[in-house]
Amino acid sequence: MSKGLPETRTDAAMSELVPEPRPKPAVPMKPVSINTNLLGYIGIDTIIEQMRKKTMKTGFDFNIMVVGQSGLGKSTLVNTLFKSQVSRKASSWNREEKIPKTVEIKAIGHVIEEGGVKMKLTVIDTPGFGDQINNENCWEPIEKYINEQYEKFLKEEVNIARKKRIPDTRVHCCLYFISPTGHSLRPLDLEFMKHLSKVVNIIPVIAKADTMTLEEKSEFKQRVRKELEVHGIEFYPQKEFDEDLEDKTENDKIRQESMPFAVVGSDKEYQVNGKRVLGRKTPWGIIEVENLHHCEFALLRDFVIRTHLQDLKEVTHNIHYETYRAKRLNDNGGLPPGEGLLGSVLPPVPATPCPTAE
């Protein structure tokens, strides 16, 4: 197929390291084979360009939640991921804030821009998780928050006069921080992931990984993967949502070898070999955050931001949100929830599996 138009590529820094991620349709279409012997150039391949332009204009939302015991470097890591002070961490290391008695949910929004693309990033912190003597059910406030966002979206969706673009506060990604004990997962880790992996995309990370040698790291990762498998906990990217073989091979490699990512975060720069790098300086050496020989921060960053950002949003919308919606409609006897709706959008049906709306 000859191309008459020069290809315009934006120098979006986000797509530097990997080829353009294929924009995936919201509803996967069945591939229809057509006669590819076109007589001339039509120009439908410019749709990609048009979509990109639209995205740049409207920008997009991304909501990331961090969960883990206090002191595991959650805020530092998020700041490092997005290269800006997007988390509520104070500038000094020694934070004076007291550990809250119950789990709190704190959401902070920022707008960051790169290469003409605007992202409204919301970081949701969960201070107090796992810090008490009795941590029974400390995941409940978190589950409640996530479901509340689904509920908000659902209410907007079933409105008669809908907003052009529904504000999306749903949690697209939950980074769960595992303490680098070197032994195995803690009972609390298992409990949290068991409950929450069904409602949100969980990406487990091993925090403060600069305390493990290479052998200890790989042994620990193997044990963690095995434990998660034994308990049927599916972390993102979930096996059942791989769309095609290409996805599957790519994700299999990540699932079975790289994850959980062993990360180190830092907001301080040091001089190494003439370059300024983010790192941690100890008497026995400098740990470079973006050096793949030192830790897997770069892998996590590429995974979350550069290759799977859109997929995280889609799985949240198509799978987790739909599951929630189906459950809500079922509970309501097929009727949409909410008060003050004059004449429901959907026809009332008996309590059977929910009708495919839209």
Partner 1 sequence: MDKEYVGFAALPNQLHRKSIKKGFDFTLMVAGESGLGKSTLINSLFLTNLYEDRQLPEASARLTQTLTIERRGVEIEEGGIKVKLTLVDTPGFGDSVDCSDCWLPVVRFIEEQFEQYLRDESGLNRKNIQDSRVHCCLYFISPFGRGLRPLDVAFLRAVHEKVNIIPVIGKADALMPRETQALKQKIRDQLKEEEINIYQFPDCDSDEDEDFKRQDAEMKESIPFAVVGSCEVVRDKGTRPVRGRRYSWGTVEVENPHHCDFLNLRRMLVQTHLQDLKEVTHDLLYEGYRARCLQSLARPGARDRASRSKLSRRSTTEIPLPMLPLAETEKLIREKDEELRRMQEMLEKMQAQVQQSQAQGEQSAAL
Report the interface residues with partner 1, using CB under 8 A. 69-73, 93-95, 99, 131-136, 179-191, 207-208, 210-211, 213-214, 223, 227, 230-231, 280-288, 293-294
Give me the least distance between CB of 77 and partner 1, in Å please. Answer: 13
Of 233 and 335, CB closest to partner 1 = 233
Of 185 and 259, CB closest to partner 1 = 185
Amino acid of residue 113: E
Give me the least distance between CB of 225 and partner 1, in Å please. Answer: 13
Q: What is the distance between the terminal CA atoms of the chain, rounded to a whole angstrom? A: 36
Give me the least distance between CB of 187 and partner 1, in Å please. Answer: 5
Q: Reduced to 3 states, what is the DSSP secondary structure of residue 189?
A: helix
Give me the least distance between CB of 18 and partner 1, in Å please. Answer: 25
Of 283 and 340, CB closest to partner 1 = 283
Alpha-carbon span 321 to 100, nearest angstrom: 30
Spatial CB neighbours of 265, under 8 Å, sequence gap ≥ 6: 73, 76, 77, 79, 80, 289, 297
Of 106 and 183, CB closest to partner 1 = 183
Of 69 and 201, CB closest to partner 1 = 69
Give me the least distance between CB of 275 and partner 1, in Å please. Answer: 15
Alpha-carbon span 355 to 348, nearest angstrom: 10
Find out whether 42 and 34 touch, Cβ atoms under 8 Å. Answer: no
Amino acid of residue 53: K
Of 50 and 273, CB closest to partner 1 = 273
Alpha-carbon span 278 to 271, nearest angstrom: 9
**How far from the centroid of its chain's Cα atoms is residue 212's Cα?**
26
Give me the least distance between CB of 205 and partner 1, in Å please. Answer: 14
Alpha-carbon span 235 to 256, nearest angstrom: 12
**How far from the centroid of its chain's Cα atoms is residue 89's Cα?**
20
Amino acid of residue 79: N
Q: Reduced to 3 states, what is the DSSP secondary structure of residue 169?
A: coil
Of 50 and 213, CB closest to partner 1 = 213
User: DSSP assignment of 285-298, as one string?
Assistant: EEEETT-TTT-SHH
Give me the least distance between CB of 274 and partner 1, in Å please. Answer: 17
